[in-house]
Structure 1
Amino acid sequence: MIAVAVTVPLVWLAWLVLTDWVPMFPLNDLNGANVRGRALAAAINYPFPLLIAAGIGLHRTWSLIAATVLCVLVVAGHVRSWWLPYFGPATAEQRELYRREYSRTWKVLPTAGHDVVIDVQHMVVGLLSLLMLATTIVVTLTA
């Protein structure tokens, strides 16, 4: 299970890198995205899965707890960035970012009546985030 728990954050990271930098319209829409903003987001987001994988790989109580806390932060950030704006009011900044970078991407959820709609690329991020949290918790509890 440790190998799976180490691999999931690396798959999560690979998915982020792929969708952040490789044009695959309509899965992603890099035409409206500013490269500086993507680079800043990468600098913020990419260390998380590396730290999580390292924490699991060390397999010490403190490192597993730290990895679990980081997973919780990743899931919370995803919920705050996508699910709360979808189900509730979105900020002007979230609406503008959505309009500029995600309004033309592939979606499976209803768009009517929503200022921000989570797209397929970010649904995959959410599923991988939950899987990362679940595998990290299992490894932590069985350590």
Structure 2
Amino acid sequence: MIAIVVPLVWLGWLILTEWVPMYPLNDLAPGNLRHRMLAASINYPFPLLIAGGVALHQTWSLIAATALCVLVLIGHVQSWWVPYFGTATPEQRETYVRDYSRTLKIIPTEGHDVVIDVQHLVVGVLSLLMFGTTLAATLAG
């Protein structure tokens, strides 16, 4: 049951932080509406498919749900942790400056072009939790 609920919590967190103004947790400037709509159309199906795959509780659906969790984790790492520890692309720096540079951060910012804010740290923790619970459901299968 937890493996069904966690993806829905992940989705709820995304919806909350992408559409409800809570500055400095998020920065919902009118200029980033198009970007938020695109991100929603890409990201929102994942937790629904993961929760559905776990709920079906078939071998194929559990494996598919786990694979989707891996894709979510890869996307998160590529979008936030690689630019933080490595070299950010010009597009990542531009998006960061436009949408996230004024949001709340708790990790060191000095010397980094892109810094993961609290909003996305929570996404990362929930992504790991989603993967762990889905993997456990798959292995228990």
Which TM-score applies when normalising by structure 2?
0.98
Separation in structure 2 between the aligned mates of residue 60 and residue 103 of structure 1, nearest angstrom? 43
| Cross-structure match for 2:42 | 44
Superposed displacement of residue 39, structure 1:
0.8
Choose from 17, 33, 36 the match for 1:35.
33
Separation in structure 2 between the aligned mates of residue 37 and residue 100 of structure 1, nearest angstrom? 10
Offset from partner CA, 1:38-81 (integer Å, 9 cap, x none): 11110000000000000000000000000000000000000000
| Cross-structure match for 1:112 | 110
| Matched residue count | 141
Q: Specify whether residues 78 and 88 from structure 1 end up closer, same or farther in structure 2 by C-alpha distance, changes over 3 A only.
A: same
| Cross-structure match for 1:122 | 120
Q: Is the 8 A contact 1:10 1:50 kept in 2?
A: yes
RMSD across aligned C-alpha pairs, in angstroms?
A: 0.8
Which TM-score applies when normalising by structure 1?
0.97
Q: Please list every run of at least 4 consecutive aligned residues from structure 1 whose deviation after the TM superposition is greater than 2 angstroms.
A: none
Q: Is the counterpart of residue 78 in structure 1 residue 73 in structure 2?
A: no
Q: Which runs of 5+ in 2 are unaligned?
A: none
Offset from partner CA, 1:7-48 (integer Å, 9 cap, x none): 000000000000000000000011264212211110000000
Q: Specify whether residues 33 and 132 from structure 1 end up closer, same or farther in structure 2 by C-alpha distance, changes over 3 A only.
A: farther
Q: Which runs of 5+ in 1 are unaligned?
A: none
Task: Give the % identical residues.
Answer: 70
Offset from partner CA, 1:113-136 (integer Å, 9 cap, x none): 000000000000000000000000
| Cross-structure match for 1:13 | 11
Q: What code does the residue aligned with 1:26 have? A: P
